[in-house]
Amino acid sequence: MQKITIQGLQSDSQILIGEKLANANHYLPAGKVVIITDDNVRQYYHPVFPAGPVLRIGTREGIKNLDTVRKLYEGLLHLEADRSTFILAIGGGIVCDVAGFTASTYLRGVRFGFAATTLLAQVDASVGGKNGVNFGGYKNMVGVFSQPEFVICDLGFLQTLPKREILNGLAEIIKSALIKDQTLFEYLEKAFPKALELDLEVIEKLVHETVSIKARIVNQDEREGGERRLLNFGHTFGHALESTSGISHGEAVGIGMRMACSLSVQKGLLSPQKAGRIEKLLHNLGLPAAMPFDRQAVLVALKRDKKRADDKIHFILLKDIGQAMMELISIRELEEMLDK
């Protein structure tokens, strides 16, 4: 088991890579523990949950809203949860985001921790203290920055995860390598077949390296004033495609990263040869190169981007593999990119 510490402005968070959910009692306080999970995760893993009442939420992005949070508040009231109650979220990014927000706001905040059960949650969603829900058609519009006391990344969970969900996590791992770590990218180029087979040693290294990258960024810029924005690489087009076409997050971010690479080449920042290596890795992992999309709908989604300032968007480009930079790019330029 490997431990990485996130130093939040208000509190720290221990990310426990390779720890088992069965050992959760080592990290839980003695008092009342309420577990929040989703229907799928409960079905698979209920026998290894620590003791405590369980509140369930549904699945899919549509339930990540204030109505679900309201139901959780009601459940907590019903269980007479008080300020000494500890909330343990066991699930993917949706469970962690919703439960983290609920815990941070119920009674002005109670203690909480996560057991992240998807690869995406282990390398991204559960790490860094952003918790929130969607509102008014905008993703993660209402939320807080607050760190879970611990995150258990039990790699055994990944064995039951559908391949599509594994690819969602791998897309975020590639993103992290591209913005910060050339060595990790080179490792991925060699180790991708084993990563796809979920070879434990390879997956543990990938989770560890990716969490280390995010921890270094968050420790510098928890509130996303600058450096943390680099983590949005591939996500401007990615989110717009995901919200308008129904493709998976990994597929959308894969295409978004390809588009951001093309723009980087076009601006003379990234060599075509390096962009080719990136294309090849995405292809080898089975992430599609392009998808038919509704140009108008994607444009509307781009204009709703939270990273927008007037008619420009904070866009992340690559100078090299492992080196990202932020540039303000006009919507018009992105529109031209879409047409290509």
Q: Is 249 a catalytic residue?
A: yes
Q: Rounded to an integer, what is the distance from CA 295 to the centroid of its chain?
A: 26
Residue 265 beta carbon to ligand NAD: minimum distance, rounded to whole angstroms: 27
Catalytic residue among 175, 205, 208, 235: 235
Catalytic residue among 214, 258, 274, 279: 214
Other Cβ atoms within 10 Å of 238 Cβ, number? 25
SS (H, E, C) 281-339: HHHHCCCCCCCCCCHHHHHHHHHCCCCEECCEEEEEEEEECCEEEEEEEEHHHHHHHHH
Catalytic residue among 131, 134, 168, 232: 232
Residue 248 beta carbon to ligand NAD: minimum distance, rounded to whole angstroms: 9
Q: Is 130 a catalytic residue?
A: yes
85 vs 210 by CB, closer to ligand NAD: 210
Residue 68 beta carbon to ligand NAD: minimum distance, rounded to whole angstroms: 12
160 vs 183 by CB, closer to ligand NAD: 160
Q: Is 223 a catalytic residue?
A: no
140 vs 323 by CB, closer to ligand NAD: 140
Task: Name the residue among 77, 35, 78, 37 with its Cα closest to residue 57.
Answer: 37
Helix, strand, coil % in the chain, rounded to nearest 5? 55, 20, 25
Q: Is 232 a catalytic residue?
A: yes
Q: Is 239 a catalytic residue?
A: yes
Q: Is 303 a catalytic residue?
A: no
Residue 235 beta carbon to ligand NAD: minimum distance, rounded to whole angstroms: 9
Q: Is 228 a catalytic residue?
A: yes
Q: Rounded to an integer, what is the distance from CA 123 to the centroid of its chain?
A: 7
Task: Name the residue among 256, 249, 265, 253 with its Cα closest to residue 321.
Answer: 265
* Type of residue numbered 84: S
CA distances in angstroms from 248 to 49, 122, 165, 287, listed in the order given: 29, 18, 8, 10
Radius of gyration of the chain (CA): 20
Catalytic residue among 175, 239, 258, 274: 239
Residue 92 beta carbon to ligand NAD: minimum distance, rounded to whole angstroms: 2
- For binding to ligand NAD (CB under 6 A), which residues are involved? 38, 40-41, 44, 59, 61, 64, 91-95, 97, 117-118, 120-121, 124-125, 128, 130, 139-140, 157, 160-161, 165, 168
Q: Is 140 a catalytic residue?
A: no
Burial of 210 (0-12, 13-18, 19+ CB in 10 A): buried
Q: Is 314 a catalytic residue?
A: no
* Type of residue numbered 257: M
149 vs 333 by CB, closer to ligand NAD: 149
Q: Is 61 a catalytic residue?
A: no
85 vs 176 by CB, closer to ligand NAD: 176
Cβ-closest position to ligand NAD? 93
Task: Name the residue among 164, 317, 176 with its Cα closest to residue 236.
Answer: 317
| Contact (Cβ atoms closer than 8 angstroms) between residue 115 and residue 89 | yes
Residue 157 beta carbon to ligand NAD: minimum distance, rounded to whole angstroms: 4
Active site residues: 108, 130, 172, 214, 224, 228, 232, 235, 239, 249
